A and B are shown apart, each in its own frame.
Chain A
């Protein structure tokens, strides 16, 4: 019964990502949206948190939010999948529930 978790804040602004990663059940997925996308930039402090759960959670980043912020896909950590809005909808339908970490 895995969940899709959305995180829309940078890991520097709020503890949303940290709490999400602490409590998300194995087999779930996290999609970084809006300001949340900064967490996936390689060598940033957010990546260390993501790396710790990369074996039992899937990570996605919303492409339009990356482009809006000037973040090239080549700057992202490995194992992070970029999706568009349609992909986001597909994920929301695929998982049993969506939990927003605001």
Chain B
């Protein structure tokens, strides 16, 4: 793991990106992915977490072409190759929406509420979209 340099010091921080909004209705999801890319290419320790309606962003077979939007969700598949530590989603929030692991376009880590609390408390910075 490299990082950015402050003088001669190497800085690597733990960043958690939290997304709680569904895709396409607003620009938050797409813009959020762009920000995640930025954190990842600067070799920071990046984890991405989908909560509430945010889990809808991970659903496979999205096709917003007829809306004139780019299918940005495919970009989530590139995150592992960019060094993102993990893509996480709330198991409860998936279940509440009738979704399971098979419905997702990435191999997400499904977390319980307790695990999510733990994840959040072990970050330097949390950014929400």
Q: Please give the residue numbers on chain A whose beta carbons come within 8 Å of chain B beta carbons, in ascending order.
A: 1-3, 15-16, 19, 22-25, 97-102
Which residues of the other chain, A, contact B20 by a CB distance below 8 angstroms?
Answer: 16, 19, 101-102
Q: A19-B20, A22-B113 in contact; A97/B128 too (CB < 8 A)? A: no
Whether A97 contacts B113 by the Cβ 8 Å rule is no
Whether B120 contacts A99 by the Cβ 8 Å rule is yes
Q: Give B18's nearest chain A residue, CB to CB.
A: A99
Whether B126 contacts A97 by the Cβ 8 Å rule is yes
Q: Please give the residue numbers on chain B whose beta carbons come within 8 Å of chain A beta carbons, in ascending order.
A: 18, 20, 51-52, 113, 116-118, 120-126, 128-129
Whole-angstrom distance from the CB of B116 to the nearest CB of chain A?
Answer: 5
Which residues of the other chain, B, contact A19 by a CB distance below 8 angstroms?
Answer: 20, 51-52
Given contacts A15-B52, A19-B20, A101-B20, 15 further A-B contacts (CB under 8 A): A1-B121, A1-B122, A3-B126, A22-B113, A25-B117, A25-B118, A25-B121, A97-B125, A97-B126, A98-B126, A99-B126, A101-B128, A102-B20, A102-B128, A102-B129
At the interface, is chain A mostly helix, strand, loop or mixed? Answer: mixed
Whether A23 contacts B128 by the Cβ 8 Å rule is no
CA distance A97 to B15 in the complex (A): 11
Which residues of the other chain, B, contact A24 by a CB distance below 8 angstroms?
Answer: 117
* 21 contacts across the A-B interface (CB closer than 8 A): A3-B126, A15-B52, A19-B20, A19-B52, A22-B113, A23-B51, A23-B117, A23-B120, A25-B117, A25-B118, A25-B120, A25-B121, A97-B123, A97-B124, A97-B125, A98-B126, A99-B128, A100-B126, A100-B128, A101-B20, A102-B128
Q: Give A18's nearest chain B residue, CB to CB.
A: B52
